[in-house]
Structure 1
């Protein structure tokens, strides 16, 4: 029996027809409303002196413009291609003093406004705990190929209401928490659109928001809270359950600590050599499931049924030497991949799929460093009400010694001063109910690395299944998820991780062309956007693969080069 709403639609349409046209039957059900197509953006130009924009924008509400300057063509580049001349505007919104810690706060931002503007606005949602106004290029996960600024968008980037020097101590300020969670987007959006109107003589015709990791979370939260403000939502590796994921990662660290050979080095619980051993075992069991033995596991779902850690990886009979795993290691790894649970056995975060990308270097960081250095401060200071005192806070001790049930309570806690829990201000309300977004013609494009070790692709698929169930059994007419086999968190791993997801999203929103496949390439030697050192040497340096909309899988067509996307079909 088919096991997902889209697979059930595929069966109804006929598998052969589905392979030819993913959208053929997507809107045929009487349960699916007619979705309007939004009109294309119309370009405009700005011919004035960039330096005068400080005066033009001086009266923006709750805003102080700090600088405006010309950026010459070629000063920035992406994928070896120069970015055109544009104006750079910087400023702050809602400057204030925190009532609890006495610290200065503001929502810092920069906007980059092209001379030749394509009529579109892109809100660049940034990652981690924010705190930095990174260069407003409109970049996204994966290897650099293009970005929104390069394509002529007006782009905004912000620090989400605090400075990097305040990470994670900004969690002491109740308003800074809310700005970080969702309110900075709500405050910056109307300001940016009004600034664009003043500069170009019209507001943006089409608006997009996107990012990866916490940036993907921002975009998904915006889809739920600000569905009227954006026409396209570009959602990469979304940490939309970030507080739960952070607690799950700490729980995993506590499990790994029980098998670490060096108590001061958590990575000795599951070393790079041992992770490579498991990655190869996954390949041995699953590589051919998509019709090609090529170092990539495309059929992720089938692989989880085919691979068994206990059976397929040797169990050590003596000392660990990289050729085996101890029975204790296998028990811990199995539990971590199955998903975090409370002490009573209730699962509160998703499982993680086995994938050859487990060998990627980023996996070790997220599994063994982040729980002690990043998740500890996030849970203890930003998500807990009231927060821990940042002075003298010991992240490793907090993570390794706090019971998981207590951590779980922290992310749901409130107090007189901290009136919203982390699960309120950090996550999208009713994420599986997006009819407002759908009915106005907006679209959501999601991509997620299968080997992501911090935000599980299984959690994203579980959300998408729920979204489909709540929208007539098929959400593919307004939202699609693209899994990236082998890719870690946002990029990297033995993967084809260089792709353009902005162009297909714009085509979907403004032309009604739904993305049936997105071509992705490896970043091997000579790649102008930077080399991914984890691309296997036996691959062509520019190997390409189609990324397929879930639940479809890139399968070898039976002939043609294994390094060419044209040899693969989504079915």
Structure 2
């Protein structure tokens, strides 16, 4: 039995017929037969996409028809009308519309799944589903991020993909939409289920044929959307690119509130300013202590901890961070601080001491701006509202809701119970509609030749890198100890949440994903670049150390490999001096 989501709501079980598998095999370039080098059955090789010219753009507003769909506009845009990071985007057709317009029985508000599609004049035969971040609620420009913070690298649209973006079923910022039961499901997974067949039909109408290959990608909540798609839409997409996948987002958010509660245990800290518990100077000091213990473990003393696993064993927070003998002065942590901060690194627990979310890795990026943004701000302003209203059952109205009050007055146990609850109105818990069906069972996409690439900043302070390590280890275990023939995970040392940190945080993972899917070229490494001085587009990374050369490069290695300095190499600014081992 394979679970396939109903386009109108909850998941329903459907049997997969053997004739579908045979038909899928017939569409493959190399078929389903053959053996791998290890004696196992070789995975199918999908054929490469071929392009087609765009038809009449403006006509799509009147000629395209799909159930429960309204096209509100279709307009041709000349090359350069849209620019990204100062670079012009090629000529394309912009289509806007919505699906499933309705009135909520819970809050009386109107809802629909808003979307835009951008269809390039020079189409490469591929479709990219752009999964957006945060709580969604707005239709982002349909460009298609290609991985990392890559504003100057290009985007899927400029590379010739047809791209869709959506608001995931609600058009307002903030968590108030969580009162509506269907809006919760659309945000969790159902918007993608509903949009996918419509988008493919629109592409067929625009180009005279549907997409040969389809890709799904995003970072943060977009990475969560992507991992959900691997289990809920495995037949619909050929490549999945997941960045910082908070695939257990309700638990991650609750863990971040747990972190805020720990910060409040530091004497002198108030909910109005959580940063006083662990200010910039002290975070920089801890970062330096981590580097002193771990930097050279990969063979290069370069400000990057490549051997993440070895560092977690080598570094001891209590032993290796100086303890203040007097007043705090930025060179040490007080005993009270160490007691309060240690559980943030070791992993959030409930009142019984049971760990419910992953640990925060010891890494140099703790000094970056991402840590401050998520630990001191989002923990009380974003996570609390989502827990209370989007995921909790029963939901708490946002009228008069104050996130900081909820943080201080509500126990973690109460939050955990709320996100796991259901009732007669909210039939799926957040631990169901927000998470993959069975994240370690990707046999459907694997067996049809689809591929998965995942990247995650080691210093991500909201969705833990260690949680993605656990996901990948479970995936390996489910595939006889090796999932690298269809899924690979790339840690980005120093990087915070999706970008930033003392890291090489610019990289293109879409191109190697396409080459893997359509040419069989497995991505043994991905070259990443550090953002240096500010550009006209303001794309600088303020967390980059001044000692680094502008444009420093490093190979990102598929887990569990580590980028190590080659014997005799001396250029610490070039990826060519390192190899994945």
Give TM class, smaller chain. Answer: over 0.9
1:210 is paired with a residue of what secondary structure?
A: strand
Please give the per-residue CA displacement for 1:239-269, whole angstroms capped at 9, x wherever unaligned: 1000110111111111111105231211111
Asked if the contact 2:251/2:356 (under 8 Å) is kept, the reply is yes
Distance 1:183 1:116, change over 3 A: same
2:420 is paired with a residue of what secondary structure?
A: coil
- The residue that corresponds to 1:11 in the other structure is none
Measure the CA separation in 2 of the matches of 1:260 and 1:231: 52
2:527 is paired with a residue of what secondary structure?
A: strand
Measure the CA separation in 2 of the matches of 1:533 and 1:314: 27
Alignment of 1:167-178 (within 5 A): 167-178=174-185
Please give the per-residue CA displacement for 1:157-182, whole angstroms capped at 9, x wherever unaligned: 000000134x2110000000000000
Aligned counterpart for 1:488 among listed residues 476, 488, 496: 496
Is residue 2:67 matched to residue 1:61? yes
Measure the CA separation in 1 of the matches of 2:84 and 2:491: 24
Please give the per-residue CA displacement for 1:127-170, whole angstroms capped at 9, x wherever unaligned: 000001010000243232221111000000000000134x2110
Q: How many residues are aligned here?
A: 542
1:448 is paired with a residue of what secondary structure?
A: strand
TM-score, structure 2 normalization: 0.92
- The residue that corresponds to 2:306 in the other structure is 298
What displacement does 1:547 show? 0.3
Is residue 2:233 matched to residue 1:223? no
Report the RMSD for the aligned CA atoms in angstroms. Answer: 1.3
Measure the CA separation in 2 of the matches of 1:191 and 1:261: 55
- The residue that corresponds to 1:399 in the other structure is 407
Aligned counterpart for 1:93 among listed residues 96, 99, 103: 99
Is residue 2:106 matched to residue 1:106? no
Measure the CA separation in 1 of the matches of 2:540 and 2:149: 12
What displacement does 1:536 show? 1.0
Please give the per-residue CA displacement for 1:167-225, whole angstroms capped at 9, x wherever unaligned: 21100000000000000000000000000001100000000000000000000000001
Alignment of 1:147-186 (within 5 A): 147-165=155-173, 167-186=174-193
Is residue 2:254 matched to residue 1:247? yes
What displacement does 1:502 show? 0.4
Structure 2 segments unaligned to the other structure (5+ residues): 1-34
Measure the CA separation in 1 of the matches of 2:441 and 2:89: 38
- The residue that corresponds to 1:9 in the other structure is none
Please give the per-residue CA displacement for 1:53-103, whole angstroms capped at 9, x wherever unaligned: 21122x221111111112111223345542210000000100010001000
2:127 is paired with a residue of what secondary structure?
A: strand
The one of the two structures with greater contact order (alpha-carbon pairs below 8 A, sep at least 6) is 1
- The residue that corresponds to 1:532 in the other structure is 541
Alignment of 1:277-292 (within 5 A): 277-292=285-300
Further displaced range: 529-538 or 168-177:
529-538
- The residue that corresponds to 2:141 in the other structure is 135
Asked if the contact 1:260/1:267 (under 8 Å) is kept, the reply is no
TM-score, structure 1 normalization: 0.93
- The residue that corresponds to 1:22 in the other structure is none
1:164 is paired with a residue of what secondary structure?
A: coil
Is residue 2:319 matched to residue 1:311? yes
Is residue 2:552 matched to residue 1:543? yes
Further displaced range: 216-225 or 526-535:
526-535
Asked if the contact 1:143/1:523 (under 8 Å) is kept, the reply is no
1:436 is paired with a residue of what secondary structure?
A: helix
Measure the CA separation in 2 of the matches of 1:121 and 1:475: 25
Is residue 2:468 matched to residue 1:460? yes
Asked if the contact 1:96/1:106 (under 8 Å) is kept, the reply is yes
Please give the per-residue CA displacement for 1:360-382, whole angstroms capped at 9, x wherever unaligned: 01111111111110010110000
2:59 is paired with a residue of what secondary structure?
A: helix
Please give the per-residue CA displacement for 1:9-66, whole angstroms capped at 9, x wherever unaligned: xxxxxxxxxxxxxxxxx94334x43210000000111142x22221122x22111111
- The residue that corresponds to 2:572 in the other structure is 562
Aligned counterpart for 2:366 among listed residues 358, 378, 382: 358
1:411 is paired with a residue of what secondary structure?
A: helix
- The residue that corresponds to 1:15 in the other structure is none
1:507 is paired with a residue of what secondary structure?
A: helix
Please give the per-residue CA displacement for 1:89-123, whole angstroms capped at 9, x wherever unaligned: 00010001000100010000000000000000000
- The residue that corresponds to 1:520 in the other structure is 528
Alignment of 1:194-205 (within 5 A): 194-205=201-212
Asked if the contact 2:148/2:508 (under 8 Å) is kept, the reply is no
Alignment of 1:339-488 (within 5 A): 339-488=347-496
Measure the CA separation in 2 of the matches of 1:262 and 1:413: 33
Asked if the contact 1:143/1:491 (under 8 Å) is kept, the reply is no
Asked if the contact 2:322/2:332 (under 8 Å) is kept, the reply is yes
Measure the CA separation in 2 of the matches of 1:360 and 1:432: 32
Is residue 2:269 matched to residue 1:262? yes
